[in-house]
Structure formats: C-alpha cells, structure tokens
Amino acid sequence: MDKPKIAERRPAVIELDPGTYFWCRCGRSSQQPFCDGSHAGTSFTPMKLEISDKRRVALCQCKQTGKEPMCDGAHSSL
C-alpha cells in the first residue's frame, strides 16, 4: 500500500456550496484539498463528499486523519 503525501500540516478551512466534491487521499493533487487525478498509478482513490447545505468545513490536508475527509488534529503530531 502506498503512503499518502503530506500536502499541508494544517486543514483547509473553506466554505462549500451544496454539491459533490472529491477529496484527495493521496496528497499529490495540485488542487488541494480536492482531487485533480494525480493519484493515477497509485493505490489511492479520491473520496466522494456530498454537501447538502452551504457550510464551513475543515478538510484534512495531512492525509493522516481518522475521520476522512475532515481534520481530526492528526497534523499536530507530525
């Protein structure tokens, strides 16, 4: 199994409109925290995220969270 790349050591705190998003699990995307297809050739696949109401979220960018795709503070121990 491949190990994810740490994209950032802090979450991406952003406001998302209702819709479907794809969170990057590999850490290679240049469009963090979202997938741009850079996982091709790895064992990673993006995680589908459905947002029904406009809301502010903290999406993990260290890729070590236990609560994908949300930040759980795992970056503080890296």
Residue keyed to tokens 């109401």? 53
pLDDT at position 2 is: 84
Give the pLDDT confidence of 53-74 residue by residue, as tens digits.
999 999 999 999 999 999 999 9
8-24 pLDDT per residue, tens = 999 999 999 999 999 99
DSSP letter at 74 equals: G
Q: Where are the domains of the chain?
A: 12-77
pLDDT digits (tens, 9 = 90+) for 44-55: 999 999 999 999
Q: Please give the model's pTM, rounded to 2 decimal places.
A: 0.94
pLDDT at 19: 98
Q: What is the mean pLDDT of residues 29-47?
A: 97
Secondary structure (DSSP) of 36-68:
-STTTTSS--PEEEEE-S-EEEEE-SSS--SST
